[in-house]
């Protein structure tokens, strides 16, 4: 039997090229070898996205984005967290096994407290219980589906470790393997995608290239990439140029070698390098964009796909909940 891989996708921003190389592509590659369960963590997003229209738009766009990028809902169980009521039941049960002290140590909560203390504010100013108990809901997401591995970025490893602690606390209490203890799978080799300003591409820096930007906007964004003041004639170093680092993600080995040679020879200005970059980015993203637009144009079909995923997911979830209720004497 294949091992189970599960990951959650928080719909707090539209997908960009950094998400594509950092999360989407690695997760889709992993889904070939695992029994994969990928879901839209909409109740996690509610902690920060409080505008209803914005949240419902993001849920759709992010779901459509993963499908457009190649997620096959016949092979991957793909659903919305909010469609699985068992998640919230399990989360409540896990609360009884989660020390408050454990939550006090969560990085995101600690960072919020530190920022408040720095401003001589109340330490818990602006912290809602959703943020404070975020790791418990995430543990429920993971444990509910008997996950073996959880592919995540480095920033989420602590959360997976907390899920381990919580599952172990349950098993220890009932002296039985009631819940499966998950492992984090960190994608170390994933390239850091540079943003328009040269820093890591991230929504919080406002330096992203959206994955499904219309062709015209895509071109404009690429033309806005910050460069140094080297003139056209000067030889240039490809490895320190964010244009080239982005190019490497999209171009073939031959194309990379050819452009690197033009950098080193001199005689090529930044504008020309950007045109080359646009050509390869647009070549890869055009089919994705077309698929994304087609999915977004048929919201009923998208809802149906997610509902079918939720149905499959709930069958698994129900079994975990019965196991736990029985162990706990709430059957
Ligand atoms: N916390 C994750 C993030 O911010 C999203 C998430 C929610 C998740 N539930 C999960 C990831 C379960 C892995 C497993 O990116």
Do 254 and 222 form a contact (C-beta atoms < 8 A)? no
| Nearest atom in ligand 1 to 41's CA | 7
| Nearest atom in ligand 1 to 6's CA | 14
Task: Please tell me whether residue 205 adopts helix, strand or coil conformation.
Answer: helix
Strand 183-186 relative to strand 4-9: parallel, antiparallel, unpaired? unpaired
Give the pTM: 0.94
Q: Whose C-alpha lies nearest to ligand 1, atom 11? A: 8
Residue 327 confidence (pLDDT): 98
Q: What angle do CA 188, 189, 195 make, to 5 degrees?
A: 100
Q: Whose C-alpha lies nearest to ligand 1, atom 6? A: 8
Do 49 and 58 form a contact (C-beta atoms < 8 A)? yes
Find the residues whose C-beta lies inside 6 A of ligand 1. Answer: 6-8, 10, 41, 44, 138, 141-142, 150, 152, 156, 159
With the most atoms of ligand 1 within 8 angstroms of its CB, the residue from 19, 41, 62, 108 to mutate is 41
CA atoms within 13 A on the CB side of 72: 8
Residue 134 confidence (pLDDT): 97
DSSP string for 86-103 = HHHHHHHHHHTT--HHHH
Q: Whose C-alpha lies nearest to ligand 1, atom 5? A: 8
Q: Whose C-alpha lies nearest to ligand 1, atom 10? A: 8
Residue 269 confidence (pLDDT): 96
Residue 184 CA to ligand 1 centre (angstroms): 11
Segment 268-301, tens digit of pLDDT: 999 999 999 999 999 999 999 999 999 999 999 9
Residue 231 confidence (pLDDT): 94
Mean pLDDT, to the nearest integer, of 313-331?
Answer: 97
Proportion of the chain above pLDDT 90, given as a percent: 96
Mean pLDDT, to the nearest integer, of 128-146?
Answer: 97
- End-to-end alpha carbon distance in the chain: 29
Mean pLDDT, to the nearest integer, of 213-224?
Answer: 97
Mean pLDDT, to the nearest integer, of 129-150?
Answer: 98
Burial class, 129, CB count within 10 angstroms (exposed 0-12 / middle 13-18 / buried 19+): exposed
Residue 232 CA to ligand 1 centre (angstroms): 46
Range of weakest confidence among 95-99, 183-187, 190-194, 255-259: 190-194
Q: Whose C-alpha lies nearest to ligand 1, atom 8? A: 8
Residue 143 CA to ligand 1 centre (angstroms): 12
Residue 268 confidence (pLDDT): 97
Rg from Cα positions in the chain: 22
| Residue 188 confidence (pLDDT) above 90 | no
Going 229 to 231 to 232 to 234, the CA torsion angle's sign is negative
CA distance 3 to 149: 8
| Nearest atom in ligand 1 to 151's CA | 13
Q: Whose C-alpha lies nearest to ligand 1, atom 12? A: 8
| Residue 121 confidence (pLDDT) above 80 | yes
pLDDT tier, 164 (very low <50, low <70, confident <90, very high otherwise): very high
Mean pLDDT, to the nearest integer, of 61-68?
Answer: 98
Do 238 and 244 form a contact (C-beta atoms < 8 A)? yes
Q: Which residue has the tokens 């993001």?
A: 58
With the most atoms of ligand 1 within 8 angstroms of its CB, the residue from 36, 43, 59, 152 to mutate is 152
Residue 189 confidence (pLDDT): 66
């Amino acid at each position: 039997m294949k091992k189970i891989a599960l990951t959650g996708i928080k719909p707090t921003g539209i997908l960009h090229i950094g998400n594509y190389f950092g999360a989407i592509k690695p997760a889709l590659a992993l889904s070939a070898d695992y029994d994969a369960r990928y879901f839209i963590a909409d109740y996690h997003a509610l902690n920060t996205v409080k505008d209803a229209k914005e949240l419902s738009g993001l849920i759709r766009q992010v779901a459509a984005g993963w499908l457009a990028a190649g997620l096959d809902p016949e092979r991957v169980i793909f659903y919305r967290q909010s469609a699985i009521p068992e998640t919230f039941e399990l989360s409540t049960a896990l609360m009884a096994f989660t020390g408050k002290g454990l939550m006090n140590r969560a990085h995101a909560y600690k960072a919020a407290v530190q920022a408040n203390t720095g401003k001589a504010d109340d330490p818990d100013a602006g912290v809602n219980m959703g943020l404070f108990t975020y790791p418990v809901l995430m543990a429920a997401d993971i444990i509910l589906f008997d996950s073996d591995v959880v592919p995540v970025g480095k920033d989420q490893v602590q959360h997976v470790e907390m899920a381990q602690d919580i599952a172990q606390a349950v098993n220890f209490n009932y002296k039985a393997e009631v819940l499966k203890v998950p492992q984090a799978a960190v994608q170390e080799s994933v390239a850091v995608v540079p943003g328009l300003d040269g820093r890591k591409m991230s929504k919080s820096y406002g330096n992203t290239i959206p994955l499904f930007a219309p062709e015209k906007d895509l071109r404009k964004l690429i033309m806005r990439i910050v460069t140094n003041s080297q003139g056209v004639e000067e030889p240039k170093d490809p490895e320190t140029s964010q244009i080239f680092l982005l190019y490497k993600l999209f171009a073939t080995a031959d194309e990379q070698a050819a452009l690197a040679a033009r950098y080193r020879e001199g005689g090529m200005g930044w504008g020309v390098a950007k045109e080359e970059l646009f050509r390869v980015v647009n070549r890869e993203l055009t089919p994705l964009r077309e698929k994304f637009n087609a999915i977004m144009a048929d919201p009923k079909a998208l809802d149906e796909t997610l509902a079918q995923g939720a149905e499959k997911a709930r069958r698994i979830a129900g079994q975990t909940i019965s196991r736990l209720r029985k162990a706990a004497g709430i059957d």
